[in-house]
């Protein structure tokens, strides 16, 4: 069963403009399936995941490429980066859009080699695990533009006929293999996934004796999702240096496992928090790492709110990246404790968003939104959103609106 992805239009547009399109992203996010679906009638396919093929490609890159008819999909380019200079020579000679469609899971290594070999010749896109609009098939082409999408949210009624259970979504996440095949053991899949990531993407970037420490770090970091990132605290708890912690966070970020949400700092002086907040990009992975194995345990546990916030933030990020929307996202918190979970900056407008895992709305749930709006010039804010689990949608105050999570 193939599930349509929001990024499809962006990929096809890039393939008509650039000679090379590079699709990066976490392992098992569906890159190969997506590209085979989009280009099955136009491109030949080559995987560099097989050892014998990698060996031939590395030893004779020019001869290897000459064996394949173009245009060509090359899967897992990070396994043979030696091919990139020869790909550059071919695209410079042929000057044809969409000549090579390339995937890579290790984003840092891919980007380093791309910058050296394919600068200005490649469009670089990133694929994440499924987002809500994809699995519910609720994407509207009329809502590609950010302003229209955000301002329509309070008036959607999709939640009246839910196809997805919230607890199940938070527990299992959006990796395609788990979503498409309901017979797969969740615990076994995530255990194998983590081990594969460590063996293929992580081990070569850290010392071998630190692998056990890295696994401890990964679990501790998962327990901090949706929190401010404090390198010193992590260093003390793990008994590792701050530079080591920073390098490991960067490694996870470059492999599309986590995202650092930066603070909004404009026009507020010095009395604001300036540390980023960390979010995992899949709630299923977070739930597994913190040993949540049932829907009831998750929803009734102390991390329910953090995992729900992680889901909402990551879903917005995935949407904006897939549609190539030119916007910035932040959070905001001052030393007095007033916090806005998400601020979307689009043009000269700001869209503040609060995220609460509640089915009953009280004024305290949007108190921070009200205070923050009062701090700013109102001309910059048309609407503010409270995303929650209530059936009550629509206007709460003059500028604050309630949105059910299912409608995002």
Q: What digits encode the pLDDT tens for the residues 337-381?
A: 789 999 999 988 999 999 999 999 999 999 999 999 888 766 688
What is the C-alpha separation between 220 and 237, in angstroms, rounded?
9
Q: Model pTM?
A: 0.93
Over 80: is that where the pLDDT of 108 sits? no
Between these two residues, 334 and 357, which has the higher pLDDT value? 357
Helix, strand, coil percentages in the chain from 3-state DSSP, rounded to 5? 50, 15, 35
Residue-wise pLDDT for 137-175, tens only, equals: 988 877 888 999 999 999 999 898 888 999 999 999 999
Instruction: Choose the weakest-confidence range: 107-111, 121-125, 218-222.
Output: 107-111
Q: What is the pLDDT of residue 272?
A: 67
Please give the full DSSP string across 152-164, using - where no structure is assigned: HGGG--GGGG-SS
What is the C-alpha separation between 37 and 22, in angstroms, rounded?
16
Helices (H), 210-303: 211-222, 231-238, 242-254, 283-289, 295-299
Q: What is the pLDDT of residue 196?
A: 87
Pairing of strands 122-127, 20-25: parallel
Over 70: is that where the pLDDT of 63 sits? yes
Q: What is the pLDDT of residue 269?
A: 57
Cis peptide before 18 (omega within 30 of 0): no
How would residue 331 be classed by pLDDT, with cut points 50, 70 and 90? very high
Instruction: Choose the weakest-confidence range: 11-20, 109-118, 121-130, 147-156.
Output: 109-118
How would residue 109 be classed by pLDDT, with cut points 50, 70 and 90? low
Q: To the nearest whole percent, how much of the chain has pLDDT over 90?
A: 74
How would residue 30 be classed by pLDDT, with cut points 50, 70 and 90? very high
Residues facing residue 136 across a β-bridge: none
What is the C-alpha separation between 239 and 255, in angstroms, rounded?
24
- Give Cα 406 to chain centroid, integer Å: 18
Q: Give me the chain's average pLDDT, please.
A: 91
- Let me know how many helices (H) and strands (E) the chain has, helices first: 18, 14
Over 60: is that where the pLDDT of 270 sits? no
Pairing of strands 44-47, 72-75: parallel
For the segment 27-40, the average pLDDT, to the nearest whole number, is 95
How would residue 197 be classed by pLDDT, with cut points 50, 70 and 90? confident
Q: What is the pLDDT of residue 117?
A: 79
Over 70: is that where the pLDDT of 234 sits? yes
For the segment 385-403, the average pLDDT, to the nearest whole number, is 95
Tally Cβ neighbours within 10 Å of residue 375. Answer: 11
Instruction: Choose the weakest-confidence range: 51-55, 116-120, 151-155, 330-334.
Output: 116-120
Q: What is the pLDDT of residue 209?
A: 65
Over 90: is that where the pLDDT of 268 sits? no
Enumerate the domain spans of the chain: 8-127, 132-407
Q: To the nearest whole percent, how much of the chain has pLDDT over 70?
A: 96
Q: For 8-127, which CATH class?
A: alpha beta
Q: What is the pLDDT of residue 273?
A: 73
Pair 71, 98: CB distance under 8 Å: yes
For the segment 28-43, the average pLDDT, to the nearest whole number, is 95
Burial class (CB in 10 A: 0-12, 13-18, 19+), 138: middle
């Amino acid at each position: 069963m193939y599930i349509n992805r929001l990024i499809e239009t962006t990929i096809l547009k890039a393939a008509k403009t650039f000679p090379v399109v590079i699709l990066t992203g976490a392992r098992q996010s569906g890159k190969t399936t997506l590209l085979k679906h989009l280009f099955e009638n136009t491109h030949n396919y080559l995987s560099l995941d097989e050892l014998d093929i990698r060996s031939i490609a590395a030893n004779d890159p020019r001869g290897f490429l000459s064996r394949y008819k173009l245009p060509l999909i090359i899967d897992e380019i990070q396994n043979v980066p030696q091919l990139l200079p020869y790909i550059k020579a071919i695209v410079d000679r042929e000057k044809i859009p969409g000549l090579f469609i390339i995937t890579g899971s290790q984003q840092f290594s891919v980007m380093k080699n791309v910058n050296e070999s394919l600068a200005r010749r490649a469009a670089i896109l990133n694929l994440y695990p499924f987002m809500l609009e994809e699995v519910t098939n609720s994407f509207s082409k009329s809502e590609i533009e950010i302003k229209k999408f955000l301002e329509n949210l309070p008036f959607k009624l999709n939640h009246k006929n839910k196809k997805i259970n919230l607890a199940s979504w938070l527990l299992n996440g959006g990796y395609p293999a788990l979503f498409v095949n309901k017979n797969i053991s969740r615990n076994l899949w995530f255990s194998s996934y983590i081990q594969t990531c460590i063996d293929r993407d992580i081990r070569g970037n850290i010392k071998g004796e630190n692998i056990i420490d890295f696994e401890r770090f990964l679990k501790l970091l998962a327990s901090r999702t949706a929190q401010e990132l404090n390198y010193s605290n992590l260093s003390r708890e793990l008994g590792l240096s701050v530079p080591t912690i920073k390098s490991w966070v960067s490694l996870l970020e470059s492999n599309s496992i986590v995202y650092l949400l930066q603070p909004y700092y404009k026009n507020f002086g010095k009395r604001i928090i300036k540390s980023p907040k960390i979010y995992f990009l899949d709630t299923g992975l977070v739930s597994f790492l913190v040993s949540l194995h049932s829907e009831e345990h998750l929803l009734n546990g102390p991390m329910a709110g953090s995992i729900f916030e992680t889901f909402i933030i990551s879903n917005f990020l995935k949407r904006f990246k897939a549609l190539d929307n030119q916007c910035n996202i932040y959070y905001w918190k001052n030393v007095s404790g007033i916090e806005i979970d998400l601020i979307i900056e689009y043009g000269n407008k700001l869209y503040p968003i609060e995220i609460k895992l509640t089915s009953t709305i009280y004024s305290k749930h949007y108190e921070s939104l009200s205070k923050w709006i009062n701090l700013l010039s109102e001309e910059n804010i048309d609407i503010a959103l409270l995303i929650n689990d209530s059936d009550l949608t629509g206007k709460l105050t003059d500028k604050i609106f309630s949105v059910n999570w299912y409608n995002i």
